[in-house]
Amino acid sequence: MRILVTGATGNVGRLVVDELLARRPDPSVVVRALTTNPAKAALPENVEGLEVVTGFIGKLSTMPAALEGVDTLYLAPHQATAKEVVQLAKQAGVQRIVALSSTNADEEAKGDPSEWTYYATEHAVLTEGEGLRWTFLRAGQFMWNLLDNAEQIKTTGEVRAAYGKAAFAPVDIADIAAVAAKVLLTDGHDGEKYPLIGSETVSKIDATRVIGEVLGREIPFIELSREEARQTYLAAGLDEYVADWLLDNDAMGVDYPQPPDFTIERLTGRPAKTFKQFVSENRAVFE
């Protein structure tokens, strides 16, 4: 079996390659990593079972060679060319696609197709990949997002943000990669839409408290109004659409806190990483 991992330079895709190599059950499984920059991806050299090819799913001319001889495709989200990549995969004889998506995919599906981000990939697999086996990995908010205030903490010793009670069940990308490898290497996952979120619900206020516990000092959380936070985003260079989208998402997290989920533990056999574990591993970000 040959597995093509697209986006192998990216945060998740790069870890998927490592997980596949670590879990590879026998020499018949070959991992092919697609990357725009092999040096930047820092993929291991001279490793049995690893093939490195230069290319990008956004550059369709590179895809036929990358897909040659591939049985299973790990598809990173790239809405601009998702349709064409799935078409090329089917033409190349790919039998199964495991696509990284988002817990927001169903909501996106209700909106304007021109604004689809993650659902574009799912839609492409379902419409252009008819007859192929598929699995969607619907990731939630990354734990990295809760470190957005690291610079504030380093420079002011506090966090100033709106919607402090906005609560989500964040996930570490290492857990996403572990699930991806499990699904890519084993059967029994066809037609599944796995929610990949954390096993604990964490608000912005909770996250600030946990960071303080790890650093050994109290970090105050200063609640901003929506407009104050919006102006902060705009001053940082975000456009109005992105700023409003972020604030709307946080407002939703106040009214509808995201409950935890245990799919990661069920599939990998180990608990999902907690936010405190994650902060402990990345405390250098704050120092």
Residue 23 located in a structural domain: yes
| Amino acid present at 57 | I
Burial of 254 (0-12, 13-18, 19+ CB in 10 A): middle
Q: Are 54 and 39 found together in one domain?
A: yes
d(CA 119, CA 265): 25
What's CA 227's distance to the chain center, in Å?
29
Question: In this predicted structure, what is the pLDDT of residue 103?
Answer: 93
Residue 185 lies in a domain: no
117 residue type, one letter: T
**What tens-digit pLDDT sequence spans the chain (287 residues)?**
999 999 998 889 999 999 999 998 888 899 999 999 888 878 887 788 999 999 999 999 999 999 999 999 999 999 999 999 999 999 999 999 999 999 988 888 888 888 788 899 999 999 999 899 999 999 999 998 888 888 899 999 999 999 999 999 999 999 999 999 999 999 999 999 999 999 999 999 999 999 999 999 999 999 999 999 999 999 989 999 999 989 999 999 999 999 999 999 999 999 999 999 999 999 998 87
The answer to the question of residue 264 being in a domain is: no
Residue 178 lies in a domain: no
- Structural domain of residue 94, as residue ranges? 2-139
Instruction: Assess whether 231 and 118 both reside in one domain.
Output: no
Q: What is the 3-class SS of the chain, one letter each residue?
A: CEEEECCCCCHHHHHHHHHHHHHCCCCCCEEEEEECCHHHHCCCCCCCCEEEEECECCEHHHHHHHHCCCCEEEECCCCCCHHHHHHHHHHHCCCEEEEEEECCHHHHHCCCHHHCCCHHHHHHHHHHCCCCEEEEEEECCEHHHHHCCHHHHHHHCCEEEECCCCEECCECHHHHHHHHHHHHHCCCCCCCEEEECCCCCEEHHHHHHHHHHHHCCCCCEEEECHHHHHHHHHHCCCCHHHHHHHHHHHHHHHHCCCCCCCHHHHHHCCCCCCHHHHHHHCHHHHC
* Within-domain flag for 96: yes
Same domain for 108 and 153? Answer: no
Structural domains in the chain (count): 2
CA atoms of 58 and 55, how far apart (whole Å): 9
82 occurs within a structural domain: yes
Residue 182: inside a domain, yes or no?
no
User: How confident is the model at residue 207, as a pLDDT?
Assistant: 94
Measured from the Cβ of residue 7, the count of other Cβ atoms closer than 10 Å reads 25
Here the CATH number for the domain that contains residue 216 is 3.90.25.10
Last residue of a domain, one of 99, 121, 139: 139
C-alpha angle with apex 48: 47 to 54, nearest 5 degrees?
65
**Is there a single domain that holds both residue 240 and residue 218?**
yes
Q: What is the pLDDT of residue 133?
A: 97
The answer on 231 and 204 residing in a single domain is yes
Same domain, 32 and 135: yes
Same-domain pairing of 215 and 132:
no
**20 and 49 housed in the same domain:** yes
Check whether residue 125 and residue 164 sit in a common domain.
no
pTM score? 0.92
Sign of CA dihedral 276, 281, 285, 287: positive
Pairing label, strands 167-168, 202-203: antiparallel
Asked if residue 102 and residue 159 are part of one domain, the reply reads no
Indicate which CATH number applies to the domain containing 128. Answer: 3.40.50.720
Identify whether residues 158 and 128 lie together within a single domain.
no
Do 122 and 13 belong together in one domain? yes
Whether 124 is in a domain gets the answer: yes
- Asked which of 98, 119, 139 is the last residue of a domain, the reply is 139
